[in-house]
């Protein structure tokens, strides 16, 4: 699968980022069967759109289609995150690609899951997935 490789809002070359997003959205996964990485890719694209970053060559209708696609993906993402439990989060975290780790924890925080997932489970995640440690520590410090 050709995934979108998106970067922070400080990236200078937005057109490359959006071209990769365009390829990804040109052949989107079935929304209800999308995996965590596809949903996180859509979230990255949503962040670009929320900052009014679009390719100049996109017609009004292309832009409208892409925005609608990303909005639908965000609804599916919300449902996915709200179904996470202390029992299921480890399996999900294990699947996350490195480029999507930060966005996973942003959404974890956005959907206020820190009170839903047991702190001991989060500690076990830090031990099992050290690349997630920084984000888990930040969540624990903010609460």
∠ CA 107-111-113 to the nearest 5 degrees? 100
Domain identity same for 55 and 91: no
| 43 and 65 fall within a common domain | yes
pLDDT digits (tens, 9 = 90+) for 87-125: 999 999 999 999 999 999 999 999 999 989 988 999 999
In a domain, 78, yes or no: yes
Taking a C-beta distance cutoff of 8 angstroms, is the pair 97, 38 a contact? no
Chain centroid offset of residue 131 CA:
16
Domain end residue (candidates: 83, 108, 134):
83
pLDDT at 21 > cutoff 50: yes
Average pLDDT over residues 2-21: 66
Question: What's the structural domain count of the chain?
Answer: 2
% of residues, the chain, pLDDT over 90: 73
Q: Which range of residues forms the domain containing residue 61?
A: 11-83
Question: Does a structural domain hold residue 2?
Answer: no
User: Do 57 and 92 have their domain in common?
Assistant: no
42 and 68 in a single domain? The answer is yes
Alpha-carbon gap, residue 138 to 17, rounded angstroms: 28
Q: Fill in the DSSP letter of residue 31.
A: G
What is the structure's pLDDT at 26? 87
Cβ contacts of 107 within 8 Å, gap of 6 or more: 40, 43, 77, 81
pLDDT (tens digit, 9 = 90+) per residue, 46-55? 999 999 999 9
- pLDDT of res. 10: 44
User: Is 116 inside a domain boundary?
Assistant: yes
1 assigned to some structural domain: no
């Amino acid at each position: 699968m050709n995934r979108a490789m998106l970067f922070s809002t400080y990236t200078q070359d937005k057109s490359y980022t959006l071209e990769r997003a365009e390829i990804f959205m040109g052949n989107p996964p079935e929304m209800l069967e999308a995996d965590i990485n596809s949903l996180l890719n859509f979230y990255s694209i949503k962040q670009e759109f929320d900052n009014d970053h679009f390719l100049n060559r996109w017609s009004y209708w292309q832009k409208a289609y892409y925005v609608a696609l990303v909005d639908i993906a965000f609804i599916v993402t919300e449902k996915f995150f709200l179904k996470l439990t202390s029992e299921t989060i480890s399996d999900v975290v294990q699947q996350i690609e490195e480029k999507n780790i930060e966005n996973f924890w942003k959404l974890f925080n956005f959907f206020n899951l820190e009170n839903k997932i047991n702190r001991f489970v989060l500690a076990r995640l830090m031990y099992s997935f050290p690349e997630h440690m920084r984000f888990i520590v930040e969540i624990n410090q903010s609460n």
